[in-house]
Amino acid sequence: MDPIIRQVDSLVHEMTFTIMAEEVEEQTLSELKTLRKKATIPGFRKGKAPINVLRARYGKDVEEDVRLEVTNRKFQKLMEKESYRILGGGAIKSYKPQENGNLEVVVEFQVEPEIELKKIDQLRVTKEIHSVDEEDLGRVLENMRERHAVIEQVETGAEPNHFVMADFQELDAGGTPIIGRKFEDRHFALGSGLFGELFEEQVKGVKKDDVRNVEVVYPDNEKPGTDKREYYQVTVKRVENKILPDLDDEFATSMGDYQNLDQLKTAVRLQLENELANRGEEQVLENLIDEVIKSNPFDVPPLMVDYYMDTWYEDIKKEAKEKLDENELKERNRPFAIRNIKWYLIRNKLVEKENIEVTDANIKGYIKDIAQKSKVAFTEVEKYYTDPGRSEKLKDQMLEKLVLDRLLRTAKVKEVRGWKGKSNLIETA
C-alpha cells in the first residue's frame, strides 16, 4: 500500500508513504557521532561526550533535520517510479507517528498541466483603426509648448493660472498644529480647483513668504451628502507664472529642421499616425493572445504563479522609490501573472507541435532591420547580440514573433474604424 497518491485538484496531488523508525534512528545516531567530534560540552573533553548527553542537548534538532532529509530522499525515489511531470519538489504537509515508531508522511506536489491545443485557427480578433484629427494634433502641439515654457517668479501676488509652491501644516479645529501632519513643497495651480473654491479664495493674491490659515472643504465619502473640513497653515515658498511660446513659425524652427509651422504640423501628424498604427498592430497581437488563451482553457499550477509573482515583485522592488505593499500588489496583479503563464505554456506547446524554430536567417534579418532603422552598422548591432544573455533574449523575442505570425495567418480580423467611441465594423478577413 506504500505509497498512496491522492488527487487534491487538477494539478495538486498528495503522496502518503511510510518512513521507517530504524532509518531515522540510524542516521540520527550517525549525525550525533559526527557532531561529537567538534562539540564542546562542559565536563567532557572535546570529542569524548557520551551520545546520550549529545542527544539530550541536540537530539531534537538533529532528528528534525534527519527526518526532513529522509523524507525528501524517499519522496524523490518514489517519484522516479511515477509518470508525473512534477514542478519543483514536494511540500511536507504532515507527519503522523505510528504505534511501531514509524512515521506516516503526507507530501503535497504539483504537476505541469496537460495542454491540448483545441483551437488555434480561425481565431476572431479586433483591430482598432484610429484617425488623427485636429483635436489630437492640437493636443500634441500644446504639450510641446508646455515643455518649452519659460517659468518666471511672480512678486505681485498669485492669480489664476499661477503656480504656488508651499508647505502645508495641518491644524486641529482650534488652530493647533498636528504633529506628523506637515507636507512640504506642495505644488498647485491656482484656478485648478484642486482643493475647492473656498481654498482658492483664501490663497488668492499670496506672495512669497506669506503665511495663511486656510480651511478645506470636501465631500465625505463615508457619509454621502455631508462635507469634511480640514484646516492648514500654508507657508508660501514661491509663486510662478508659466509663459508658453507662441505657436508660430519661429516656434516651429526652434523644434528642429522645419521652415514653418505647417511643416511642423505635417511632421507631428505623420508621427501620430505611425504611433497609432503601431499601437493598433500591438493591440491585435494582445487580442490574439487573449483569444487563444480563452479558446484553450486549462488550470495553472499555483507553484508557477507564486514563483512568477515573487520574481516580478523583486524586480519592481528594485526600481521602487517608496515602500510597497507586497501582498496587495501581488493580489492585484495575480490575474496578469496567470494570463502570462498560460500564454507561455501555450506558446511552448505550439512550438513543439509545429516544430517552430528560430533560424540563423531569422536572426540576421532581424539584426539587419534594426541596423537600418537605427542607422547603425550591421556589424555593430551583430556584435551587441553576441552577449549570451542578449542573444537568448533576442531568440525568445523572435520565437514569440514566429508563433504570433503563425496564429495571425489564419485569424479573422475585424477592423473597428473611428475615434472617441465612434466606430464602424468592417470585415477584412
Q: What is the 3-state secondary structure (H, E, C) of 168-183?
A: EEEECCCCCEEEEEEE
pLDDT at 426 over 70: no
Task: Answer whether residue 312 is part of any domain.
Answer: yes
Q: Are residues 198 and 97 both part of a single domain?
A: no
Clarify whether residues 280 and 422 are in a common domain: yes
Query: Would you state the pLDDT for residue 419?
Result: 47
Q: What pLDDT, in 10s, does the model give residues 286-328?
A: 999 999 999 999 999 999 999 999 999 999 988 887 888 899 9
Sequence-separated (6 or more) residues with CB below 8 Å from residue 31: 62, 65, 66
Residue 249 forms part of a structural domain: no
| 183 within a domain of the structure (yes/no) | yes
Residues 392 and 271 in one domain: yes
Residues 78 and 214 in one domain: no
264 and 412 housed in the same domain: yes
* Residue 97 dihedral angles phi and psi, to the nearest 5°: -65, 140
Same domain, 28 and 82: yes
Q: Give the separation between CA 166 and CA 237, rounded to whole angstroms.
A: 5
The helix (run of H) or strand (run of E) holding residue 81 is none
Identity of the amino acid at 420: K
The answer on pLDDT for 377 being more than 70 is: yes
Burial string for 313-330 (b: 16+ CB within 10 Å, else e) reads beeeeeeeeeeeeeeebb
C-alpha cell at 92: 511536507
Q: Sign (positive/negative) of CA torsion 63, 64, 68, 74?
A: positive
Please indicate, yes or no, whether the overall pTM of this predicted structure exceeds 0.75: no
**b/e map 190-223, b = 16+ CB within 10 Å:** beeeebeeebbebbeebebebeeebebeeeeeee
Across the beta sheet with 103-111, what order do the strands follow?
Answer: 4-7, 12-19, 103-111, 86-97
- Which pLDDT band holds residue 424 (cuts at 50, 70, 90)? very low
Write the CATH number for 410: 1.10.3120.10
Residue 221, pLDDT above cutoff 80: no
Pick from 191, 210, 243: which residue ends a domain?
243
Enclosing domain of residue 267: 259-427
User: What's the confidence (pLDDT) of residue 418?
Assistant: 58
Of 111, 128, 160, at which residue does a domain stop?
A: 111
Is there a contact between 92 and 107 (Cβ–Cβ < 8 Å)? yes
Where a domain ends, among 53, 88, 111? 111
pLDDT-based confidence at 1, cuts 50/70/90?
low
Q: Average pLDDT, stretch 12-18?
A: 93
User: Facing residues of 413 across strands?
Assistant: 125
Q: Are 426 and 414 in contact (CB under 8 A)?
A: yes
Which pLDDT score, from 0 to 100, does residue 410 have? 94
- When comparing pLDDT for 131 and 412, which is higher? 412
At residue 42, the pLDDT reads 84
Rg (CA), the chain: 34
In a domain? residue 139: no
Residue 234's pLDDT is 94
Q: What are phi and psi of 377, to 5 degrees?
A: -60, 140
Assess whether 265 and 226 both reside in one domain.
no
One domain, residues 284 and 372: yes
Name residue 71's amino acid.
Answer: T
How confident is the model over 78-135, as pLDDT tens digits?
Answer: 998 888 888 888 899 999 999 888 999 999 999 989 898 999 999 999 988 888 889 8
The residue among 211, 162, 151 whose CA lies nearest residue 191 is 162
Residue 192: pLDDT band by 50, 70, 90 thresholds? confident
Q: Taking a C-beta distance cutoff of 8 angstroms, is the pair 230, 170 a contact?
A: yes
Task: Tell whether 379 and 287 lie within a shared domain.
Answer: yes
pLDDT tens, position by position, 245-268: 999 999 999 999 999 999 999 999
Has residue 327 been placed in a domain?
Answer: yes
CATH classification at residue 230: 3.10.50.40
Q: Confirm whether 99 is domain-assigned.
A: yes
In this predicted model, which residue has the larger pLDDT, 226 or 1? 226
* Same domain for 164 and 78: no
If asked whether residues 196 and 339 sit together in one domain, one would say: no
254 within a domain of the structure (yes/no): no
Question: Which CATH number characterizes residue 75's domain?
Answer: 3.30.70.1050
Q: Are residues 266 and 389 in the same domain?
A: yes
Examine the pLDDT at 422 and tell me if it is beyond 80: no
Residue 143: inside a domain: no
Which pLDDT does position 402 carry in this prediction?
94
Cα-Cα-Cα-Cα dihedral sign, residues 161, 162, 166, 171 = negative
Amino acid 289: pLDDT: 96
> Domain total for the chain?
3
Mean residue pLDDT of the chain comes to 89
